[in-house]
Structure 1
Amino acid sequence: MNVDWSGVFPAATTQFNADLTLNIPATLRHLDLMIDAGVHGMIVLGSVGENCSLSYAEKLEVLQASIAHINGRVPVLTGVAEYTTQMACRFAADAARLGADGLMVLPAMVYRSDRRETAAHFRSVAAASDLPVMIYNNPIAYRVDIAPEEFADLADEPKFVAIKESTEDTRRITDIRNVCGDRFLLFCGVDDVVLESMVLGIDGWVSGLVNAFPAENRLLWDLATAGRYAEAVEIYRWYTPLLHLDTDRKLVQYIKLAVQECGFGSETTRPPRLPLIGDERDKILRIIRQAINTRPMLTV
């Protein structure tokens, strides 16, 4: 199965009203802002999109509205993060019915599956639709680690086209290439190792901080892909304090606060995630505001 996924794919936020109901118009405005800045694809209902904080019906509402609004301007993938394989298969089929371009599939939530169970889960979800699949490997957050050899075992399924690698270990990029060759498109899924990962040969970047700094994010990608590494490193050094926010357990609150500070949306998250307070809030705001005040010139 051939897809042309490459470049910057935001893991988009889901915007809420003050009463915690879905704010679809604000969500769509935010998608427009990132597309206008030149991102190459869009992922809704990922971790940053608070997938597991939405009801099943709300997930379909966000996905349907996003697909219709984007209207083919960039590929639209959806996160698939359910507690059971059966529910993940159901959502994959519904996503195909609604017109999604692909799936970003996570292991089953909560239960820590072993190697055989993990493979069975991904294969079952792939069989539930005709959509191409990006396998999301994030053992730090979801406790299931898919080793390079396991990806090789999955290579016989043509719907598995891409890997979002989020171990925070850049050695995995080379290990996957050595074991699997170019069988899979490789996406960096951790913001603060992206430049190192680009040097090692990734195809794309699933980014969180792009939600707040889409133009600067695209600039870093463009400089690095053009081989202008000295300039890319300069941007990366400016960006890295922000990118570190993507690796904290409160990444959703931190990213949404940055989105709010940049005037692109609201910081509101659904409990159990609560608004930042006290010293923690002050610390994160200092990082965000320092970046805003020193942001680079947007030229390539």
Structure 2
Amino acid sequence: MTLLNEDAKGVYVIAVTPFAEDGALDLTSVDRMVDFYEEAGATGLTILGQLGEAPKLTAEESCVLTERVIKRLDGRLPVVVGVSAPGLAPMRELAETVMGMGAAGVMVAPPWTLKTDDQIFSYYAGVGEALGETPFVLQDYPLTTNVAIAPKVIERIVREVPTCVMLKHEDWPGLAKISVLRAASDKGEVRRISILCGNGGLFLPEEMGRGADGAMTGFCYPEMMVGVVGAYQAGNVERAHDIFNAYLPLARYEQQQGIGLACRKYVLAKRGVIATGNLRKPGVALTPADIADIERLLARQARRLEEIGA
């Protein structure tokens, strides 16, 4: 497998983790899900992310899931694996394991204990040292980690930690951050790295306009992200916005704290991608009113997509 590098672009879908009714890993659904994402036009997959319920998996389950996904893809698409951990030793151990399986790279979010710019830089310098030659994605998601990473800190990491090849940008509001980072690389002040964006794709057209290379996030219709990124890369900005707008009401609904992932898995189950929409405990379940909302949004979305020929 080719290793992840600074030229990565497109759509790396953050995959859900399918569970059976009894809460066990559903490996049959994993196969079907991988096929679905590939057929939808994904450039790569990212597993063991926060919305992949990684903290609810045992170490053994994390390895079983990773091996299953990588073997199913058989080198056709790159796989990035989340290896965030409180300590560098378990991070290094998991990274070595998944890279040995054929992963293209790993993703690392900062621990919540980091408060200052120097602490953040020192942490990622340590990550680079611990991971050796393994390329990694810096996950910048302050809404969840409570760690705000200023552009100047990201630039310092990029300058001094060569194995940091991608920023997963999930700051909110964060469009200005993309502009600052791209201006710095355009001027030759810092190495240009890949920027893929998250937050369920809620700001994807604007992020592409600021210089992002694509998306690394989840949504129950990955076709939206593939369509938006493809249209933008082809120079058809208006088409990108038309596609985005057709899916926006459902994407917005899916971004609710608490029930967002349950919504995503409900729709994926409805589409036949996974057998059940179950979240592993502790996790919320949709109410009948939630389901009615989703069904209404799906019906309206289908009509709008037909209208625009998407």
What TM-score do the two structures reach when normalised by structure 2? 0.88
Separation of aligned partners in 2, 1:113 and 1:28? 40
Q: Is the 8 A contact 1:48 1:252 kept in 2?
A: yes
CA positional deviation for 1:258: 2.0
2:246 is aligned to 238
Give the SS at the match of 1:125: helix
Superposition map of 1:49-88 within 5 A: 49-88=52-91
2:208 is aligned to 198
2:170 is aligned to 166
Separation of aligned partners in 1, 2:30 and 2:239? 33
> Kindly tell me: are residues 95 and 116 of structure 1, through their superposed partners in 2, closer, same or farther at Cα, counting changes over 3 Å?
farther
CA positional deviation for 1:39: 1.1
> Kindly tell me: are residues 230 and 18 of structure 1, through their superposed partners in 2, closer, same or farther at Cα, counting changes over 3 Å?
same
- Between stretches 150-159 and 126-135, larger displacement belongs to 126-135
> Kindly tell me: are residues 129 and 295 of structure 1, through their superposed partners in 2, closer, same or farther at Cα, counting changes over 3 Å?
farther
Gaps of 5+ in 1: none
Q: Letter of the aligned partner of 1:29 in structure 2? A: R
Q: Letter of the aligned partner of 2:162 in structure 1? A: P
Separation of aligned partners in 1, 2:256 and 2:114? 21
1:229 is aligned to 237
1:270 is aligned to 280
Separation of aligned partners in 2, 1:104 and 1:298? 36
1:175 is aligned to 180
1:118 is aligned to 120
Q: Is the 8 A contact 2:231 2:239 kept in 1?
A: yes
Q: Is the 8 A contact 1:102 1:132 kept in 2?
A: yes
- Between stretches 83-92 and 234-243, larger displacement belongs to 83-92
Give the SS at the match of 2:51: coil
Separation of aligned partners in 2, 1:36 and 1:78? 20
Residues 1:89 and 2:97 are matched in the alignment: no
Give the SS at the match of 2:183: helix
Q: Is the 8 A contact 1:149 1:179 kept in 2?
A: no
Match of 1:24 among 24, 27, 30: 27
Separation of aligned partners in 2, 1:86 and 1:54? 18
Superposition map of 1:141-156 within 5 A: 141-155=144-158, 156=160
Separation of aligned partners in 1, 2:106 and 2:52? 14
Give the SS at the match of 1:295: helix
Separation of aligned partners in 1, 2:122 and 2:277? 37
Separation of aligned partners in 2, 1:243 and 1:166? 15
Match of 1:213 among 197, 221, 235: 221
Q: Letter of the aligned partner of 1:60 in structure 2? A: C
Q: Is the 8 A contact 2:247 2:301 kept in 1?
A: yes
Q: Letter of the aligned partner of 1:21 in structure 2? A: A
Separation of aligned partners in 2, 1:130 and 1:117? 22
Separation of aligned partners in 2, 1:40 and 1:80? 20
CA positional deviation for 1:287: 2.3
CA positional deviation for 1:59: 0.7
- Between stretches 216-225 and 183-192, larger displacement belongs to 216-225
Give the SS at the match of 1:48: helix
- Between stretches 190-199 and 216-225, larger displacement belongs to 216-225
> What root-mean-square deviation, in Å, do the aligned CA atoms of Structure 1 and Structure 2 show?
2.2
Q: Is the 8 A contact 1:78 1:100 kept in 2?
A: yes
Q: Deviations over 1:250-270 (max 9, x none)?
A: 332121122122222121111
Q: Deviations over 1:138-157 (max 9, x none)?
A: 00011112110111111211
CA positional deviation for 1:121: 3.0
Separation of aligned partners in 1, 2:307 and 2:64? 38
CA positional deviation for 1:278: 4.0
Q: Letter of the aligned partner of 2:163 in structure 1? A: K
Match of 1:288 among 271, 282, 298: 298
**Higher RCO structure, 1 or 2 (CA under 8 Å, sep 6+):** 2
- Between stretches 43-52 and 273-282, larger displacement belongs to 273-282
CA positional deviation for 1:246: 4.8
Separation of aligned partners in 1, 2:182 and 2:161? 18
